Amino acid sequence: MRVVIIGAGPGGLMAAEQAATAGHDVAIFDQRRSPGRKLVLAGRGGLNLTHSEPLDSFLDRYGSARPYLEPSIGGFTPDDLRTWSDGLGEPTFVGSSGRVFPASFRAVPLLRAWLRRLDGLGVRFELGQRWSGWSVGTERPALRFVSELDGIEHSVECDACVLALGGSSWPGVGSDGSWVDLLRSRGVTVTSLRAANCGVRVDWSPVMVERFAGAPMKNAAVVVDGLAVRGDPVITSFGLEGGPIYAHSQRIREQIDADGYAEMKIDLFPDLDIGDVVRRLVERRRTKRSISTWLDRCGLSSAGISLLREVTGNQLPTDPDELGELMKGAMVAVHEMAPIDRAISSAGGVRWSEVDAELQLVAIPGTYVVGEMLDWEAPTGGYLLQAVFSTGHRVGSRLAA
């Protein structure tokens, strides 16, 4: 069987490996000149491959997409992924937060070993080829590609096609979401791609940006909808970034969609209750000193003090009760998410109603969809790559069978 896979990210490569192992003739097309560029980018942050938590709670991270992803993740589990990585010479380990990483903390050694394996299986790579839709009028439906080098267009026929084109964050690495219109033109319903696991825009004063862009607020908790996420939110020239902000991004996005803005509280002393904070403020007060010195004596960082100034319009209260409340919940209003270009992943994609249980498009039989193109989202922590690998594995195994 001639299998064409479009997209040389982890989803496409995994589907290719399974199909080629079964002896199919597999060709992978990608518009970039080298495969797996987003995977390499992910490797710069340590390459969090998956997570070690029990499978049931792991699956809960996909929210409403859980029932659709469960067959794929159940068929290629986090443990299977770790064994697979080990087989490529990249043993994994579990970090203190339960996240799983390759020993090298990088994507390049894993990717190199994987490409060698695919080469050994006879998989061909057609790089610098942009998929631009389907040729009409040919005897069999054919895929159309345009060479990024010379602009020459050509058609490719196949027995099965796997679309593994990714979302649309960091378009420079190739995943630019240009497939959305191509699929919609064939009657496939696609939920618009939105930024997920991303920062938020906050209208900081110029002083805040000048003095604190890049500064983390260590050991804080970010609270949205009453749900607290611990971590180090980072002040940027645009607003706020960092783990706890990413973890809330779906909630914040939904609040902005509903109300035009979202409310986020930053607790600068999550290990102390309000009584302890107020007591500390009272004990460490020196009447002749400035409020900043007082707050500094209470253990608040300069970035934290500035945050309190920002959210009060530089009108810091002097009453310890009021000040304590502020330190336990500085309210930041968010009107906008960071642009999708800088997001870690995208929400939205091909609706689940458009694919069958084997992830084959109902409207275009013989064409399958894997990875971030499908309509799911999940927090960081290895949940993104696991779903990508697992859906690629499911489709590849289906073709193999």
Residue with tokens 């593994």: 164
Distance between CA atoms of residues 106 and 87, nearest Å? 16
**Number of other residues whose CB lies within 10 A of the CB of residue 76:** 21
344 makes contact with ligand FAD (CB under 6 A): yes
Q: x/- string (CB under 6 A) for ligand FAD, residues 367-386?
A: ----xx---------x-xx-
26 three-class SS: strand
Select the residue whose beta carbon is closest to ligand FAD and give its number.
174
> In the numeric block, which tokens belong to residue 194?
């939105």
- Would you give the end-to-end CA distance of the chain in angstroms? 11
* 42 to 71: interface string for ligand FAD, x by CB under 6 A: x--x-xx-----------------------
Tell me the torsion sign for CA atoms 11, 12, 14, 19. positive
How far, CA to CA in Å, does 33 sit from each of 126, 152, 173?
Answer: 9, 16, 10
Distance CA 226, CA 43 (A): 33
Smallest distance from the beta carbon of 192 to ligand FAD, in angstroms?
16
Q: Which of 24, 61, 82, 130 binds ligand FAD (CB under 6 A)?
A: 130
Residue of the chain from 39, 215, 217, 364 that contacts ligand FAD (CB under 6 A):
39
Please state the closest distance from residue 41 (CB atom) to ligand FAD, in A: 5
CA nearest to 149, candidates 131, 173, 128: 128
CB 293 to ligand FAD: min, Å: 39
DSSP 8-state secondary structure symbol assigned to residue 216:
B
In the shown chain, the binding pattern of residues 157 to 196 toward ligand FAD, with x for contact by CB under 6 A and - for none, equals: -------xxx--xx---xxx-xx-----------------
Binding-site member from 18, 20, 32, 193 for ligand FAD (CB under 6 A) = 32
Q: Which residue has the tokens 């007060």?
A: 285
Q: What is the DSSP string of 56-107?
A: HHHHHTTGGGHHHHHHHHHHS-HHHHHHHHHHTT--EEE-TTSEEEETTS-S
Out of 7, 242, 324, 349, the residue judged to bind ligand FAD by CB under 6 A: 7
In angstroms, give the least distance from the CB of 61 to ligand FAD. Answer: 11
Least Cβ distance, residue 243 to ligand FAD (angstroms): 12
The residue among 269 and 389 lying less far from ligand FAD, judged by its C-beta, is: 389
**Per-residue string for binding with ligand FAD, 66-105, x by CB under 6 A?**
----------------------------------------
> Which of 114, 115, 90, 164 is CA-nearest to residue 387?
164
Query: For binding to ligand FAD (CB under 6 A), which residues are involved?
Result: 6-12, 29-32, 37-39, 41-42, 45, 47-48, 130-131, 164-166, 169-170, 174-176, 178-179, 344-345, 371-372, 382, 384-385, 388
